[in-house]
């Protein structure tokens, strides 16, 4: 079964708190998107000290340039996994090894235009690959289903690899994402804009 990871992209800490509370009956594991208007043309709330007070276990998706310079501030007690973008890393072996010193799991995200062969040699260095189904920066975009070929390819190379598909995910494409071999899905609009969050949650999980 796919693990559904609610994704929070907010400019307000109060909105973050509200969303954590809304999804609490279903899961205690969430993704927080961090953007500083450099790597992507958007900016989110990014006060690490306050995010550390959220009553949840988090994966922090760092959509920022040069994440190896800033990862330490995001290695918070309530953070399990740090996700960084391949496109933002200068020296993969050095930077991933450096971020490993945080003691956190490391996820490597790739944008829709990035080819899988570019990260093939680094799969053993990370705990997860996050395949973006949209260009990062904004919620509510249409899913680019051709990225599922990347999931299939990486699962052939490394069947045990954890792969999260993030962006544009909804109850209508979750089956094809699971069939491609993904283990996790990051969901934002499909949850937060649903008429009933509980019903949307079950649909994303594939539960009748």
Residue 73's pLDDT is 97
| Active-site position among 36, 47, 166, 175 | 166
Residue 139's pLDDT is 76
Q: Left if phi > 0, otherwise alpha if psi is -120 to 50, otherwise beta: which for 114?
A: beta
Structure tokens at 183: 């283990």
Structural contact between residues 161 and 155, judged by C-beta atoms closer than 8 angstroms? yes
Pairing assessment for the beta strands 128-132 and 184-187 based on DSSP bridges:
unpaired
The enclosing H or E element of 54 equals none
Residue 91's pLDDT is 94
**Measured over all CA atoms, what is the biggest interatomic distance in the chain, rounded to whole angstroms?**
46
Domain regions of the chain by residue span: 3-205
User: Would you call 166 a catalytic residue per the annotation?
Assistant: yes
Q: Left if phi > 0, otherwise alpha if psi is -120 to 50, otherwise beta: which for 182?
A: beta
CATH number of 3-205: 3.20.20.70
Q: Which residues pair with 43 in a beta bridge?
A: 36
User: Would you call 146 a catalytic residue per the annotation?
Assistant: no
pLDDT values of the chain reduced to their tens digit, one per residue, 208 residues:
899 999 999 999 999 999 999 999 999 999 999 999 999 999 999 999 999 999 999 999 999 999 999 999 999 999 999 999 999 999 999 999 999 999 999 999 999 999 999 999 999 999 999 999 999 877 778 999 999 999 999 999 999 999 999 999 999 999 999 999 999 999 999 999 999 999 999 999 998 6
Residue 208's pLDDT is 65
Residue 9's pLDDT is 96
φ, ψ for residue 205, nearest 5 deg: -75, -15
């Amino acid at each position: 079964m796919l693990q559904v990871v609610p994704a929070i992209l907010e400019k307000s800490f109060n909105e973050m708190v509200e969303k954590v509370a809304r999804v609490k009956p279903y899961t205690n594991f969430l993704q927080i998107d961090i953007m500083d208007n450099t790597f992507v043309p958007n900016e989110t709330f990014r006060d690490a000290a306050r995010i550390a007070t959220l009553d949840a276990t988090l994966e922090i998706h760092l959509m920022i340039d040069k994440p190896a310079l800033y990862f330490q501030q995001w290695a918070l007690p309530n953070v399990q996994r740090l996700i960084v973008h391949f496109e933002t890393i200068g020296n993969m072996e050095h930077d991933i090894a450096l971020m490993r010193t945080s003691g956190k799991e490391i996820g490597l995200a790739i944008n829709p235009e990035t080819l899988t062969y570019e990260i093939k040699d680094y799969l053993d260095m990370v705990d997860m690959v996050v395949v973006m189904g949209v260009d990062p920066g904004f919620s509510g975009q249409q899913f680019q289903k051709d990225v599922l070929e990347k999931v299939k390819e990486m699962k052939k190379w490394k069947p045990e690899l954890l792969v999260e598909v993030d962006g544009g995910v909804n109850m209508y494409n979750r089956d094809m994402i699971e069939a491609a071999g993904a283990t996790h899905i990051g969901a934002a609009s499909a949850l937060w804009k649903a008429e009933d969050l509980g019903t949307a949650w079950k649909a994303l999980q594939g539960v009748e």
